[in-house]
Amino acid sequence: MTGTERDPVGDRGPGQSVGRLAGIRRYPVKSLLGEELTEVRVAEAGLAGDRRLALLHPGSGRVASAKNPYRWRSLLTLRATGDDPVTLTLPDGRTVAADDERVDALLSALLGETVTLTGAVPPDAVLERSWPEAVLAAGVGVPVPVDEGRLGAATPPGSFVDFAPVHLVTTATLRRVGAATPAGAVDPTRYRPNLLLDWAGDGFAENDWVGRELRIGPELVLRVLAPTPRCAVPTLAHGELPRDPDALRAPARLNRVVPLPGLPPQPCLGAYAQVVRPGLIRTGDDVVVG
């Protein structure tokens, strides 16, 4: 799926590098496993159908997020696919439509917390993010300090993305991180990118793309906003993919950078982007960084 069978890098002029769109991933429900697509339309709000639903905890008003793995790591045992309606697949293989009147009761029983599935983003929506280093030290079954934060300023209306509408990761970065782990490889599923870009080089090119535009296929133009700070989510089990603390430890060693002005250095992998010009994209499309 990474397309490493061909060299993706060329040259289209001064300051331009060329890669290939190796994968498209959509997550219809926030913090649940998602689906791979071969094509999708990308608008200002991001990929069509991406993170348009979320689970809310009525007691606290918080958005349920695996960024607090002590409470919500079981979200990554569920998969959301499709749209109109979204279909949820439970760990035992049962499925339920997002508009089924039983869905809240089924999910609440499974998660052990009362939750409501919604597409309405609450005003000042808040989620909890556990301190990643504390999770590494204590494990996922122990409560650790959390930060509370609102969905980011670049979050489009009607979306539950954390910060910006598109998240991208390069295969070069995954190779670099994989080479620094005992397993020797890392699955992109752990980092939940929307776009996987086939890219040559030593990795972490995404750091250098901040403020630059990416053209994907004949239509889509993105602007990179920031490196992606990593939380504890990459270390968690994702469906059948087992837990792996090195998925965070390696970026912490290799790429601890300042993601945004005013923030301290953090382990980063990938980048956030906003949509400058909407468009249809397909796997195999050229990716040009200007």
Q: Which two tokens stand for residue 242?
A: 């087992």
Gap between the Cα atoms of 20 and 121, Å rounded: 34
Amino acid identity, position 17: S
| Residue 3: pLDDT over 70 | no
In 3D space, the residue among 249, 270, 248 whose CA is nearest the CA of residue 259 turns out to be 270
Domain spanning 17-289: CATH 2.40.33.20: yes
User: Per-residue pLDDT tens for 162-185?
Assistant: 889 999 999 999 999 999 999 999
Gap between the Cα atoms of 267 and 254, Å rounded: 8
| Residue 6: pLDDT over 50 | no
User: Per-residue pLDDT tens for 30-41?
Assistant: 999 999 999 999
What is the average pLDDT value for the chain, to the nearest integer? 92
Gap between the Cα atoms of 224 and 238, Å rounded: 27
Give the pLDDT band (50/70/90) at residue 152: low
Give the predicted TM-score (pTM) of the model: 0.92
Domains of the chain: which residue ranges?
17-289
